[in-house]
Structure 1
Amino acid sequence: MLWSELTWEEIPEVLKAVNYSAILPVGATEQHGPHLGCGVDTVIADIVCKEVSKRTKVPMLPTLPYGCSIGHSKHWPGTIAIQPITLIEFVKQIGDWAYAGGVRRLFIVNAHVTNAAPLRCALEMLRASYDDLMVSIIHTASISTRVKEFHFSDAEDWHANDAETSVIMARTPELFRADKLDVADDPDRTENLIFAHPVNHTSKNGVTGYPSRASIEKGKQGFEWMVEDLCQVILKGSQEEPPLDTPYCCKH
Protein backbone atom coordinates (compact mmCIF):
# COMPACT_ATOMS: atom_id res chain seq x y z
CA MET A 1 0.00 0.00 0.00
CA LEU A 2 2.98 2.33 -0.39
CA TRP A 3 2.29 4.90 -3.12
CA SER A 4 5.93 4.73 -4.22
CA GLU A 5 5.62 0.99 -4.92
CA LEU A 6 2.37 1.19 -6.90
CA THR A 7 2.28 1.63 -10.67
CA TRP A 8 0.10 4.22 -12.36
CA GLU A 9 -2.16 1.42 -13.59
CA GLU A 10 -2.67 0.10 -10.04
CA ILE A 11 -3.34 3.41 -8.25
CA PRO A 12 -6.91 4.00 -9.55
CA GLU A 13 -8.16 0.61 -8.33
CA VAL A 14 -6.35 0.91 -5.00
CA LEU A 15 -7.95 4.33 -4.42
CA LYS A 16 -11.40 3.16 -5.50
CA ALA A 17 -11.32 0.33 -2.97
CA VAL A 18 -10.84 2.80 -0.07
CA ASN A 19 -13.15 5.55 -1.28
CA TYR A 20 -10.27 7.54 -2.80
CA SER A 21 -8.40 7.95 0.48
CA ALA A 22 -4.66 8.42 1.03
CA ILE A 23 -2.32 9.04 3.97
CA LEU A 24 0.45 11.66 4.01
CA PRO A 25 2.85 11.24 6.98
CA VAL A 26 4.77 14.36 7.99
CA GLY A 27 7.80 14.31 10.28
CA ALA A 28 10.85 16.47 11.00
CA THR A 29 14.62 16.27 11.32
CA GLU A 30 15.68 17.85 14.60
CA GLN A 31 17.71 17.33 17.72
CA HIS A 32 16.14 14.93 20.21
CA GLY A 33 18.42 15.30 23.19
CA PRO A 34 21.58 13.31 23.88
CA HIS A 35 19.85 9.92 23.77
CA LEU A 36 17.80 9.87 20.53
CA GLY A 37 18.62 10.32 16.86
CA CYS A 38 17.48 13.38 14.94
CA GLY A 39 15.00 11.43 12.82
CA VAL A 40 12.60 10.48 15.61
CA ASP A 41 9.57 12.43 14.36
CA THR A 42 9.96 11.19 10.80
CA VAL A 43 10.48 7.61 11.95
CA ILE A 44 7.40 7.68 14.18
CA ALA A 45 5.22 9.16 11.42
CA ASP A 46 6.57 6.58 8.99
CA ILE A 47 6.26 3.41 11.07
CA VAL A 48 2.82 4.27 12.45
CA CYS A 49 1.41 5.13 9.03
CA LYS A 50 2.95 2.11 7.34
CA GLU A 51 1.26 -0.19 9.81
CA VAL A 52 -2.03 1.70 9.49
CA SER A 53 -1.80 1.54 5.70
CA LYS A 54 -1.16 -2.20 5.90
CA ARG A 55 -4.21 -2.77 8.10
CA THR A 56 -6.65 -0.40 6.36
CA LYS A 57 -5.40 -0.80 2.74
CA VAL A 58 -5.34 3.02 2.45
CA PRO A 59 -2.24 3.93 0.39
CA MET A 60 0.52 5.93 2.05
CA LEU A 61 2.35 8.71 0.27
CA PRO A 62 6.11 9.06 0.96
CA THR A 63 6.87 10.48 4.41
CA LEU A 64 8.07 14.09 4.56
CA PRO A 65 11.36 14.12 6.57
CA TYR A 66 11.61 17.90 7.11
CA GLY A 67 9.30 20.14 9.09
CA CYS A 68 8.91 23.49 10.80
CA SER A 69 11.55 22.94 13.51
CA ILE A 70 12.89 26.49 13.73
CA GLY A 71 11.79 26.71 17.38
CA HIS A 72 14.49 24.19 18.30
CA SER A 73 17.08 26.87 17.55
CA LYS A 74 20.62 26.36 16.26
CA HIS A 75 21.97 25.86 19.77
CA TRP A 76 22.35 22.10 19.22
CA PRO A 77 23.52 20.58 15.93
CA GLY A 78 21.25 18.17 14.09
CA THR A 79 18.14 20.19 13.32
CA ILE A 80 17.38 20.72 9.63
CA ALA A 81 14.35 23.01 9.58
CA ILE A 82 12.23 24.59 6.90
CA GLN A 83 10.24 27.80 7.20
CA PRO A 84 6.48 27.60 7.84
CA ILE A 85 5.67 29.10 4.45
CA THR A 86 7.81 26.44 2.76
CA LEU A 87 5.93 23.61 4.47
CA ILE A 88 2.60 25.23 3.60
CA GLU A 89 3.42 25.47 -0.08
CA PHE A 90 5.06 22.04 -0.20
CA VAL A 91 2.05 20.25 1.29
CA LYS A 92 -0.33 22.29 -0.87
CA GLN A 93 1.50 21.15 -4.00
CA ILE A 94 1.52 17.54 -2.82
CA GLY A 95 -2.24 17.87 -2.32
CA ASP A 96 -2.66 19.32 -5.80
CA TRP A 97 -0.95 16.35 -7.40
CA ALA A 98 -2.62 13.80 -5.13
CA TYR A 99 -5.96 15.25 -6.21
CA ALA A 100 -4.96 14.99 -9.85
CA GLY A 101 -4.12 11.33 -9.18
CA GLY A 102 -7.58 10.61 -7.82
CA VAL A 103 -7.32 11.28 -4.06
CA ARG A 104 -10.46 12.82 -2.55
CA ARG A 105 -9.82 12.13 1.14
CA LEU A 106 -6.35 13.13 2.32
CA PHE A 107 -5.27 12.23 5.85
CA ILE A 108 -2.22 14.27 6.89
CA VAL A 109 -0.63 12.48 9.85
CA ASN A 110 1.78 14.77 11.69
CA ALA A 111 4.41 13.68 14.21
CA HIS A 112 5.99 17.07 14.98
CA VAL A 113 4.15 19.56 17.20
CA THR A 114 5.03 22.82 15.46
CA ASN A 115 4.09 21.53 12.03
CA ALA A 116 0.50 22.08 13.14
CA ALA A 117 0.03 25.69 12.04
CA PRO A 118 1.60 25.35 8.56
CA LEU A 119 -0.33 22.16 7.91
CA ARG A 120 -3.56 23.86 8.88
CA CYS A 121 -2.79 26.63 6.39
CA ALA A 122 -2.20 24.04 3.67
CA LEU A 123 -5.53 22.42 4.55
CA GLU A 124 -7.31 25.77 4.17
CA MET A 125 -5.76 26.30 0.73
CA LEU A 126 -6.55 22.80 -0.50
CA ARG A 127 -10.17 22.71 0.53
CA ALA A 128 -10.71 26.15 -1.02
CA SER A 129 -9.17 24.90 -4.27
CA TYR A 130 -11.15 21.66 -4.61
CA ASP A 131 -14.77 21.46 -3.56
CA ASP A 132 -14.70 17.67 -3.49
CA LEU A 133 -11.41 17.20 -1.61
CA MET A 134 -11.59 16.54 2.12
CA VAL A 135 -8.43 17.04 4.18
CA SER A 136 -7.83 15.98 7.78
CA ILE A 137 -4.85 16.74 10.02
CA ILE A 138 -4.19 14.12 12.68
CA HIS A 139 -1.41 14.57 15.23
CA THR A 140 0.21 11.32 16.33
CA ALA A 141 0.41 12.42 19.97
CA SER A 142 -3.30 13.17 20.26
CA ILE A 143 -5.03 10.57 18.10
CA SER A 144 -7.15 9.50 21.06
CA THR A 145 -7.47 10.02 24.82
CA ARG A 146 -5.22 7.10 25.71
CA VAL A 147 -2.58 8.11 23.15
CA LYS A 148 -2.57 11.65 24.49
CA GLU A 149 -2.21 10.44 28.08
CA PHE A 150 0.72 8.28 26.98
CA HIS A 151 2.50 11.24 25.39
CA PHE A 152 1.76 13.90 27.99
CA SER A 153 2.38 11.84 31.13
CA ASP A 154 5.67 13.54 32.03
CA ALA A 155 5.46 16.97 30.36
CA GLU A 156 2.89 19.28 28.79
CA ASP A 157 5.47 20.64 26.33
CA TRP A 158 7.01 17.18 25.85
CA HIS A 159 9.91 16.40 23.52
CA ALA A 160 12.24 13.37 23.44
CA ASN A 161 10.39 12.30 26.58
CA ASP A 162 9.18 9.05 28.11
CA ALA A 163 6.71 8.34 25.28
CA GLU A 164 8.96 9.06 22.31
CA THR A 165 11.88 7.26 23.92
CA SER A 166 9.73 4.22 24.69
CA VAL A 167 8.44 3.96 21.11
CA ILE A 168 11.95 4.27 19.68
CA MET A 169 13.31 1.67 22.13
CA ALA A 170 10.58 -0.75 21.09
CA ARG A 171 10.48 -0.16 17.36
CA THR A 172 13.74 1.39 16.10
CA PRO A 173 16.39 0.87 18.78
CA GLU A 174 19.17 1.96 16.41
CA LEU A 175 18.09 5.56 17.19
CA PHE A 176 18.46 5.02 20.95
CA ARG A 177 21.56 5.60 23.14
CA ALA A 178 21.04 3.76 26.43
CA ASP A 179 24.26 5.10 27.93
CA LYS A 180 22.88 8.67 27.77
CA LEU A 181 19.66 8.11 29.72
CA ASP A 182 21.22 9.11 33.04
CA VAL A 183 21.78 12.66 31.71
CA ALA A 184 18.71 13.00 29.48
CA ASP A 185 15.97 14.04 31.93
CA ASP A 186 15.03 17.73 31.87
CA PRO A 187 11.81 19.13 33.39
CA ASP A 188 9.13 21.10 31.56
CA ARG A 189 9.78 24.79 32.23
CA THR A 190 6.89 26.15 30.16
CA GLU A 191 4.19 26.15 32.83
CA ASN A 192 2.55 29.55 33.49
CA LEU A 193 4.56 31.31 30.77
CA ILE A 194 2.92 33.96 28.61
CA PHE A 195 5.20 33.65 25.60
CA ALA A 196 6.09 30.69 23.38
CA HIS A 197 9.84 30.51 23.95
CA PRO A 198 12.27 28.60 21.69
CA VAL A 199 13.68 25.38 23.10
CA ASN A 200 17.08 26.90 23.90
CA HIS A 201 15.25 29.07 26.47
CA THR A 202 13.31 26.21 28.06
CA SER A 203 15.62 23.17 28.00
CA LYS A 204 19.23 22.56 29.02
CA ASN A 205 19.82 19.59 26.73
CA GLY A 206 17.02 19.66 24.13
CA VAL A 207 14.74 17.35 26.13
CA THR A 208 11.46 18.19 27.83
CA GLY A 209 10.36 15.36 30.09
CA TYR A 210 11.75 12.23 31.71
CA PRO A 211 13.05 9.69 29.20
CA SER A 212 14.62 7.72 32.05
CA ARG A 213 11.10 6.41 32.74
CA ALA A 214 10.90 4.85 29.27
CA SER A 215 10.66 1.12 28.63
CA ILE A 216 10.28 -1.26 25.72
CA GLU A 217 6.99 -2.50 27.17
CA LYS A 218 5.57 1.03 27.25
CA GLY A 219 6.77 1.59 23.72
CA LYS A 220 5.08 -1.55 22.40
CA GLN A 221 1.81 -0.64 24.08
CA GLY A 222 1.92 3.02 23.06
CA PHE A 223 2.71 2.15 19.45
CA GLU A 224 -0.15 -0.34 19.26
CA TRP A 225 -2.56 2.25 20.68
CA MET A 226 -1.44 4.77 18.08
CA VAL A 227 -1.92 2.29 15.26
CA GLU A 228 -5.26 0.92 16.46
CA ASP A 229 -6.77 4.33 17.10
CA LEU A 230 -5.46 5.88 13.88
CA CYS A 231 -6.94 2.95 11.94
CA GLN A 232 -10.32 3.73 13.45
CA VAL A 233 -10.05 7.42 12.57
CA ILE A 234 -9.05 6.71 8.98
CA LEU A 235 -11.66 4.01 8.43
CA LYS A 236 -14.35 6.34 9.74
CA GLY A 237 -13.04 9.22 7.62
CA SER A 238 -12.94 7.08 4.50
CA GLN A 239 -16.73 6.83 4.71
CA GLU A 240 -17.46 10.42 5.69
CA GLU A 241 -19.42 12.72 3.40
CA PRO A 242 -19.95 16.48 3.85
CA PRO A 243 -23.09 17.26 5.86
CA LEU A 244 -24.29 19.42 2.94
CA ASP A 245 -23.43 19.35 -0.78
CA THR A 246 -23.67 23.11 -1.24
CA PRO A 247 -21.05 24.29 -3.77
CA TYR A 248 -18.12 26.40 -2.54
CA CYS A 249 -18.78 29.14 -5.12
CA CYS A 250 -22.14 30.78 -5.65
CA LYS A 251 -23.86 30.19 -8.97
CA HIS A 252 -24.69 33.28 -11.01
Structure 2
Amino acid sequence: MTAPLLWAERTWDELPGDLAAVGGAAILPVGATEQHGPHLGTGMDFVLAEMLAHAVSAATRVPVLPTLPYSCSLGHSRRWPGTITLDPLVMTQLVVQVGTGAHRSGVRRLFLVNAHVTNAAPLRCALEMLRAAHDDLMVALVNSATVSERVRAAHVADADDWHANAAETALMMALAPRLVRPDRVAEADDPDRTQGLVFAHPVNRTSRNGVTGRPSQATATEGGRLFAWMVEDLTALVMRGLTETPPLPHPYDVSV
Protein backbone atom coordinates (compact mmCIF):
# COMPACT_ATOMS: atom_id res chain seq x y z
CA MET A 1 0.00 0.00 0.00
CA THR A 2 1.29 3.45 -0.91
CA ALA A 3 2.22 5.62 2.06
CA PRO A 4 0.72 9.10 2.46
CA LEU A 5 2.83 12.16 1.75
CA LEU A 6 3.14 13.89 5.14
CA TRP A 7 4.16 17.55 5.26
CA ALA A 8 5.90 17.05 8.62
CA GLU A 9 8.18 14.36 7.18
CA ARG A 10 9.29 16.38 4.15
CA THR A 11 12.24 18.78 4.03
CA TRP A 12 12.20 22.36 2.83
CA ASP A 13 13.86 21.40 -0.43
CA GLU A 14 11.45 18.50 -1.06
CA LEU A 15 8.16 20.32 -0.50
CA PRO A 16 8.34 22.60 -3.58
CA GLY A 17 8.54 19.56 -5.85
CA ASP A 18 5.80 17.76 -3.92
CA LEU A 19 3.48 20.74 -4.36
CA ALA A 20 4.39 21.36 -7.99
CA ALA A 21 3.42 17.77 -8.85
CA VAL A 22 -0.16 18.31 -7.61
CA GLY A 23 -0.88 21.88 -8.67
CA GLY A 24 0.11 23.38 -5.32
CA ALA A 25 -2.44 21.32 -3.38
CA ALA A 26 -2.36 20.38 0.31
CA ILE A 27 -4.82 18.85 2.77
CA LEU A 28 -5.42 20.15 6.29
CA PRO A 29 -7.28 17.61 8.47
CA VAL A 30 -9.33 19.19 11.25
CA GLY A 31 -10.88 17.24 14.10
CA ALA A 32 -11.74 17.83 17.75
CA THR A 33 -11.01 16.62 21.25
CA GLU A 34 -14.36 16.14 22.94
CA GLN A 35 -16.55 13.69 24.76
CA HIS A 36 -18.00 10.93 22.60
CA GLY A 37 -20.26 9.20 25.06
CA PRO A 38 -19.25 6.46 27.50
CA HIS A 39 -18.02 4.15 24.74
CA LEU A 40 -15.71 6.18 22.46
CA GLY A 41 -12.44 7.99 23.11
CA THR A 42 -12.31 11.78 23.05
CA GLY A 43 -9.97 11.83 20.04
CA MET A 44 -12.43 10.19 17.68
CA ASP A 45 -12.87 13.19 15.38
CA PHE A 46 -9.21 14.02 14.88
CA VAL A 47 -8.28 10.34 14.49
CA LEU A 48 -10.88 10.04 11.73
CA ALA A 49 -9.82 13.29 10.03
CA GLU A 50 -6.19 12.21 10.01
CA MET A 51 -6.80 8.66 8.80
CA LEU A 52 -9.09 9.90 6.04
CA ALA A 53 -6.62 12.57 4.90
CA HIS A 54 -3.75 10.08 4.95
CA ALA A 55 -5.68 7.58 2.85
CA VAL A 56 -6.57 10.25 0.30
CA SER A 57 -2.97 11.46 0.20
CA ALA A 58 -1.80 7.93 -0.51
CA ALA A 59 -4.15 7.85 -3.49
CA THR A 60 -3.48 11.36 -4.80
CA ARG A 61 0.04 12.25 -3.57
CA VAL A 62 -1.30 15.51 -2.15
CA PRO A 63 0.72 16.46 0.95
CA VAL A 64 -1.10 16.38 4.31
CA LEU A 65 -0.46 19.11 6.86
CA PRO A 66 -0.35 18.11 10.55
CA THR A 67 -3.83 17.47 11.94
CA LEU A 68 -5.55 20.09 14.11
CA PRO A 69 -6.79 18.12 17.18
CA TYR A 70 -8.51 21.04 18.97
CA SER A 71 -11.43 22.99 17.58
CA CYS A 72 -14.90 24.40 18.27
CA SER A 73 -16.70 22.09 20.74
CA LEU A 74 -18.48 24.66 22.90
CA GLY A 75 -21.82 22.97 22.34
CA HIS A 76 -20.75 19.92 24.31
CA SER A 77 -20.85 21.93 27.54
CA ARG A 78 -18.94 21.02 30.71
CA ARG A 79 -21.28 18.22 31.72
CA TRP A 80 -18.86 15.46 30.70
CA PRO A 81 -15.08 15.53 31.21
CA GLY A 82 -12.71 15.35 28.25
CA THR A 83 -13.81 18.16 25.96
CA ILE A 84 -11.12 20.72 25.13
CA THR A 85 -12.52 23.51 23.00
CA LEU A 86 -11.38 26.61 21.18
CA ASP A 87 -13.43 29.76 20.92
CA PRO A 88 -14.68 29.89 17.31
CA LEU A 89 -12.92 33.21 16.73
CA VAL A 90 -9.64 31.71 17.94
CA MET A 91 -10.17 28.70 15.73
CA THR A 92 -10.85 30.88 12.71
CA GLN A 93 -7.65 32.81 13.30
CA LEU A 94 -5.67 29.62 13.86
CA VAL A 95 -6.74 28.17 10.52
CA VAL A 96 -6.08 31.50 8.80
CA GLN A 97 -2.55 31.51 10.20
CA VAL A 98 -1.95 27.91 9.16
CA GLY A 99 -3.33 28.63 5.70
CA THR A 100 -1.17 31.75 5.38
CA GLY A 101 1.95 29.79 6.28
CA ALA A 102 1.02 27.09 3.80
CA HIS A 103 0.50 29.73 1.11
CA ARG A 104 3.95 31.17 1.80
CA SER A 105 5.34 27.68 1.29
CA GLY A 106 3.69 27.34 -2.12
CA VAL A 107 0.20 25.98 -1.45
CA ARG A 108 -2.36 27.30 -3.93
CA ARG A 109 -5.16 24.71 -3.45
CA LEU A 110 -6.03 24.05 0.18
CA PHE A 111 -8.49 21.33 1.14
CA LEU A 112 -9.89 21.71 4.66
CA VAL A 113 -11.07 18.21 5.64
CA ASN A 114 -13.34 18.62 8.65
CA ALA A 115 -14.49 15.69 10.80
CA HIS A 116 -16.39 17.66 13.47
CA VAL A 117 -19.78 19.14 12.53
CA THR A 118 -19.65 22.41 14.48
CA ASN A 119 -16.30 23.37 13.00
CA ALA A 120 -18.13 24.24 9.81
CA ALA A 121 -18.86 27.88 10.73
CA PRO A 122 -15.35 28.94 11.87
CA LEU A 123 -13.79 27.03 8.99
CA ARG A 124 -16.06 28.80 6.53
CA CYS A 125 -14.98 32.13 8.04
CA ALA A 126 -11.34 31.09 7.68
CA LEU A 127 -11.99 30.19 4.05
CA GLU A 128 -13.46 33.64 3.41
CA MET A 129 -10.51 35.38 5.03
CA LEU A 130 -7.85 33.30 3.29
CA ARG A 131 -9.18 33.74 -0.23
CA ALA A 132 -9.67 37.48 0.32
CA ALA A 133 -6.09 37.86 1.55
CA HIS A 134 -4.46 35.64 -1.09
CA ASP A 135 -5.91 36.09 -4.56
CA ASP A 136 -4.12 33.04 -5.95
CA LEU A 137 -5.24 30.67 -3.17
CA MET A 138 -8.29 28.45 -3.66
CA VAL A 139 -9.78 26.90 -0.52
CA ALA A 140 -12.26 24.02 -0.31
CA LEU A 141 -14.14 23.09 2.86
CA VAL A 142 -15.16 19.43 2.93
CA ASN A 143 -17.10 17.97 5.84
CA SER A 144 -16.23 14.27 6.03
CA ALA A 145 -19.75 13.14 6.94
CA THR A 146 -21.30 14.85 3.92
CA VAL A 147 -18.63 14.32 1.28
CA SER A 148 -21.25 12.42 -0.75
CA GLU A 149 -24.89 11.43 -0.49
CA ARG A 150 -24.15 7.82 0.39
CA VAL A 151 -21.81 8.90 3.18
CA ARG A 152 -24.34 11.41 4.51
CA ALA A 153 -27.13 8.82 4.46
CA ALA A 154 -25.03 6.39 6.50
CA HIS A 155 -24.36 9.03 9.15
CA VAL A 156 -27.99 10.07 9.61
CA ALA A 157 -29.48 6.56 9.47
CA ASP A 158 -30.10 6.46 13.23
CA ALA A 159 -30.28 10.20 14.07
CA ASP A 160 -30.41 13.50 12.19
CA ASP A 161 -28.47 15.31 14.94
CA TRP A 162 -26.07 12.37 15.32
CA HIS A 163 -23.07 12.16 17.62
CA ALA A 164 -21.08 9.11 18.74
CA ASN A 165 -23.77 7.14 16.93
CA ALA A 166 -23.77 3.94 14.90
CA ALA A 167 -21.72 5.45 12.05
CA GLU A 168 -19.01 6.96 14.23
CA THR A 169 -18.83 3.88 16.43
CA ALA A 170 -18.58 1.59 13.41
CA LEU A 171 -15.79 3.73 11.93
CA MET A 172 -13.75 3.45 15.11
CA MET A 173 -14.44 -0.28 15.39
CA ALA A 174 -12.91 -0.67 11.94
CA LEU A 175 -10.14 1.94 12.07
CA ALA A 176 -9.11 2.47 15.70
CA PRO A 177 -10.63 -0.18 17.97
CA ARG A 178 -8.47 1.05 20.85
CA LEU A 179 -10.86 4.01 21.07
CA VAL A 180 -13.91 1.76 21.55
CA ARG A 181 -15.15 0.33 24.85
CA PRO A 182 -17.07 -2.74 23.64
CA ASP A 183 -18.67 -3.36 27.05
CA ARG A 184 -20.30 0.10 26.96
CA VAL A 185 -21.59 0.16 23.38
CA ALA A 186 -24.85 -1.74 23.92
CA GLU A 187 -26.01 0.60 26.70
CA ALA A 188 -24.96 3.86 25.02
CA ASP A 189 -28.01 4.40 22.76
CA ASP A 190 -29.79 7.72 23.25
CA PRO A 191 -32.50 9.10 20.91
CA ASP A 192 -32.42 12.26 18.83
CA ARG A 193 -34.47 14.83 20.77
CA THR A 194 -33.96 17.71 18.33
CA GLN A 195 -36.83 17.02 15.92
CA GLY A 196 -39.03 20.10 15.45
CA LEU A 197 -36.98 22.37 17.72
CA VAL A 198 -36.59 26.03 16.82
CA PHE A 199 -33.38 26.70 18.74
CA ALA A 200 -29.98 24.98 18.60
CA HIS A 201 -29.53 23.58 22.10
CA PRO A 202 -26.23 22.40 23.61
CA VAL A 203 -25.69 18.67 23.98
CA ASN A 204 -26.28 18.70 27.74
CA ARG A 205 -29.91 19.61 26.95
CA THR A 206 -30.44 17.10 24.15
CA SER A 207 -28.59 13.99 25.37
CA ARG A 208 -28.39 12.07 28.63
CA ASN A 209 -24.93 10.65 28.04
CA GLY A 210 -23.34 12.66 25.22
CA VAL A 211 -24.63 10.29 22.52
CA THR A 212 -27.28 10.93 19.89
CA GLY A 213 -28.14 7.78 17.95
CA ARG A 214 -27.77 4.03 18.30
CA PRO A 215 -24.16 2.89 18.62
CA SER A 216 -25.47 -0.57 19.54
CA GLN A 217 -26.17 -1.06 15.82
CA ALA A 218 -22.52 -0.53 14.83
CA THR A 219 -20.30 -3.21 13.35
CA ALA A 220 -16.70 -3.13 12.20
CA THR A 221 -17.81 -4.42 8.80
CA GLU A 222 -20.12 -1.45 8.32
CA GLY A 223 -17.40 0.90 9.52
CA GLY A 224 -14.94 -0.47 7.00
CA ARG A 225 -17.42 -0.10 4.17
CA LEU A 226 -18.29 3.47 5.20
CA PHE A 227 -14.63 4.47 5.41
CA ALA A 228 -13.97 3.01 1.96
CA TRP A 229 -16.78 5.18 0.60
CA MET A 230 -15.36 8.25 2.32
CA VAL A 231 -11.90 7.65 0.89
CA GLU A 232 -13.22 6.96 -2.60
CA ASP A 233 -15.53 9.97 -2.69
CA LEU A 234 -13.05 12.43 -1.16
CA THR A 235 -10.31 11.19 -3.47
CA ALA A 236 -12.54 11.88 -6.47
CA LEU A 237 -13.30 15.38 -5.18
CA VAL A 238 -9.62 16.16 -4.57
CA MET A 239 -8.66 14.90 -8.01
CA ARG A 240 -11.22 17.21 -9.59
CA GLY A 241 -9.81 20.07 -7.58
CA LEU A 242 -6.27 19.52 -8.81
CA THR A 243 -7.16 20.87 -12.25
CA GLU A 244 -9.94 23.31 -11.42
CA THR A 245 -9.50 26.96 -12.33
CA PRO A 246 -11.76 29.92 -11.50
CA PRO A 247 -14.60 30.37 -14.01
CA LEU A 248 -13.43 33.95 -14.58
CA PRO A 249 -9.92 35.48 -14.28
CA HIS A 250 -10.93 38.75 -12.60
CA PRO A 251 -8.60 39.82 -9.75
CA TYR A 252 -10.07 40.31 -6.29
CA ASP A 253 -8.83 43.88 -5.69
CA VAL A 254 -9.40 45.56 -9.06
CA SER A 255 -12.75 46.44 -10.57
CA VAL A 256 -13.02 45.87 -14.29
* TM-score bracket for the superposition, by shorter chain length: over 0.9
Which residue pairs with 2:107 in the alignment? 103
Which residue pairs with 1:223 in the alignment? 227
Match of 2:66 among 62, 67, 92: 62
> Equivalent residues in 2 for 1:4-43 (5 A)?
4-43=8-47
Q: 1:242 and 1:30 mapped to 2: Cα distance?
A: 37
Is 1:83 matched up with 2:87? yes
Question: So what's the TM-score if we normalise by structure 2?
Answer: 0.97
Match of 2:169 among 159, 165, 177: 165
Question: Secondary structure, in 3 states, of the residue corresponding to 1:183?
Answer: coil
One-letter code of the match for 1:9?
A: D
Question: Secondary structure, in 3 states, of the residue corresponding to 1:24?
Answer: strand
Is 1:212 matched up with 2:216? yes
Match of 1:112 among 116, 129, 135: 116
The Cα RMSD (Å) is 0.8
Match of 1:249 among 239, 249, 253: 253
Question: Secondary structure, in 3 states, of the residue corresponding to 1:108?
Answer: strand
Is 1:187 matched up with 2:191? yes
Deviation at 1:251, TM superposition (A): 5.9
One-letter code of the match for 2:93?
A: E
Answer whether contact 2:26 2:111 (CA < 8 A) is retained. yes
Which residue pairs with 2:125 in the alignment? 121
Q: 1:21 and 1:186 mapped to 2: Cα distance?
A: 41
One-letter code of the match for 1:175?
A: L
Answer whether contact 2:186 2:215 (CA < 8 A) is retained. no
Question: Secondary structure, in 3 states, of the residue corresponding to 1:86?
Answer: helix
Fraction of identical pairs, as percent: 58
Deviation at 1:182, TM superposition (A): 2.2
Deviation at 1:31, TM superposition (A): 0.2
Deviation at 1:250, TM superposition (A): 1.6
Q: 1:238 and 1:86 mapped to 2: Cα distance?
A: 30
Deviation at 1:68, TM superposition (A): 0.2
Is 1:92 matched up with 2:96? yes
One-letter code of the match for 2:229?
A: W
Q: How many residues are matched?
A: 252
Unaligned runs of 5+ in 1: none
Which residue pairs with 2:139 in the alignment? 135
Q: 2:160 and 2:34 mapped to 1: Cα distance?
A: 19
Unaligned runs of 5+ in 2: none
Q: 1:19 and 1:212 mapped to 2: Cα distance?
A: 44
